[in-house]
Amino acid sequence: MAAVRVLISQGSRNILLDWEEDDPSRLSQEDWKKSSTLWPQKWIDNPSDPPERPRVFLCLDEESLAQGYDHDDLLARLINEAGPHMWGAEIYVLLHNETALINPIAEPLQIPRPAPQEMFKLLLEKGVADVLHWPSYAPNIGVAAQRSAHRMAQIMIPDPGKSWKCYLHTPHLGPQQGALLEPFPIRTFDELVNENCLIVLPENRDPDQYMKLLNNLHRINFPGAVMIGVIEQMGQLPLDVREFCRKHDYELVWFHGLVELYYFLLNLDRASKTNSQTDVVRTSVREQTFKSHRPKLLVTHSYSPDAEDDCVAAARDSWELTRELEDAAEVIIVPAVHVFRLADVMDNLQEVFAWVHIGHGREDGLRQSSDDLYKSAETWLSAFGGSSLPLVVFSSCKSAPVAELFAAAGTGVAIGFIDNLGQDQAAALTKRLVKTALIWAGSKDRILTEFSKRRKLITGTRPVAYWSR
């Protein structure tokens, strides 16, 4: 039976939670619920040092891979479970042995098995951050994720919107290896017609041969962009290759194996095709001179260790907002908010276009994390100093007085609730209001119009909008 080991990791080697899933119809809901609380609990435990968001690693069972991994149900369900429970954390698929995937064991009865490409297609559609080949003798998965982030950042380099091909500087690929990489491999640069090219130098080859190839690149009239890749599992990238790429301004990427190379090519090609019908050219920021142009959305939750279900709901709401906005905004999440910490957060952010708060409320204020005290609306307001705030949504019971005070202090539109508010009730309205604020640059009239249209999405309680004159 197919099995997947789930690792919730923070930093380089800190494994917060570890369990195994093997039945798509009976996922471990207790483990997933517990995973929602890991990040906010870290905020409470380390009040002076905000912790980074954990990552999710889905480690594929090697025996199942060797038989030809049947991914259709279990893997898809795990990815669907991870996003909303983990506050939109990055999800990685980890293979300790890529050979098992590339060269599956032949069944005596030749039972058809899913092609590896189908699994990669699923992962791409589900938004998996990367597929990692990280050998069991080098278990530092945090480093693997950091290298992945550097690699995936190169997808943002300028390119002319052409598709990508891959030239591997190696005598030949085995039939299974070649089949995995289809349709990207080329044997000679002459095969390039109107494509970009990723030139990959395999490990354990003569460095002199590397440099002979690289030094001849300037003689070749490439029809598109060129990138250099190296497959290397141990040690560091070759110094002469790094120096060559720096000198000639080639992007350099590092792979641990063919599965990392293939998933990178899929992402690279998709990004290129996305821009193929436009004149938009994306680029990576190397030396930042200007502040980020992306508007900031602040999401806070008043986590309490005694309210696990509330935390699961807040994680899901935060994930929905993140997914809805995609790359249009920078989403900052504080999963265990304290008034003093909120003031520090705002000192760093300066400006946000919207604040969404999720947590318990009552007539005299909103509850904060750490001590579970209810703080007055005036106290929460003091955390914002002189910031502008086009929209605030208090997804809290009896939060109307807090919203009214924020509007009186100059918030564009402040949304609160007159009565008690059940879990999951406000998410549908909130994400539409936030999206409207983003699209229309915080326009008060547009936000209020959207509120009037959508407030019936809330049943059993009354949302109310206040606005500054």
Tokens of 260: 């990392």
DSSP state letters, 92-105: EEEES-THHHHSPP
Cβ neighbours of residue 109 closer than 8 Å, sequence gap 6 or more: none
Helices of type H across 18-98: 29-45, 62-67, 74-85
For residues 358 and 420, which has the higher predicted lDDT (pLDDT)? 358
pLDDT in tens, 38-48: 999 999 998 77
Mean pLDDT of all residues in 88-117? 77
pLDDT in tens, 115-166: 788 889 999 999 999 999 987 766 688 888 988 999 998 887 766 678 999 9
pLDDT in tens, 172-181: 677 788 888 9
pLDDT in tens, 438-456: 999 899 999 999 999 988 8
Mean pLDDT of all residues in 226-255? 86
What is the Cα 440 distance to its own chain's centre?
A: 25
Mean pLDDT of all residues in 35-64? 89
- Which 3 state secondary structure label does DSSP give 286? coil
Q: Range with the lowest mean pLDDT among 213-227, 243-257, 287-301? A: 287-301
| pLDDT score for 19 | 95
Secondary structure of the chain: what % helix, strand, coil (to 5)? 40, 20, 40
Mean pLDDT of all residues in 102-121? 71
Backbone angles phi, psi at 220, to 5 degrees: -100, 135
Mean pLDDT of all residues in 385-401? 89
How far is 361 from 217, CA to CA, in rounded Å? 65
DSSP state letters, 311-347: HHHHHHHHHHHHHHHTTSSEEEEESB--HHHHHHHHH
Structural domains of the chain sorted by starting position, each given as residue range(s) with its CATH number in brackets? 4-137 (no CATH), 157-274 (3.40.50), 296-467 (3.40.50)
pLDDT in tens, 275-300: 654 444 444 444 545 455 689 999 99
| pLDDT score for 323 | 87
Give 338's pLDDT tier (boundaries 50, 70, 90).
very high
What mean pLDDT, rounded, does the chain reach?
A: 86
- The closest alpha carbon to 389, from 405, 409, 365, 418, belongs to 409
| pLDDT score for 290 | 44
Give 404's pLDDT tier (boundaries 50, 70, 90).
very high
| pLDDT score for 287 | 52
| pLDDT score for 178 | 82
* CB-based contacts of 385-388 (< 8 A; 24+ apart in sequence): 385/343, 385/346, 385/347, 387/346, 387/349, 387/350, 387/351, 387/352, 388/351
- The pTM of the full predicted model, rounded to 2 decimals, is 0.89
How far is 195 from 224, CA to CA, in rounded Å? 6
How far is 468 from 448, CA to CA, in rounded Å? 12
Predicted confidence (pLDDT) at residue 266 exceeds the cutoff of 90: yes
CA-CA-CA-CA torsion sign (68, 72, 73, 75): positive
Bond from prior residue into 84 cis (ω within 30 degrees of 0)? no
Angle (CA) 303 435 384, round 5°: 50
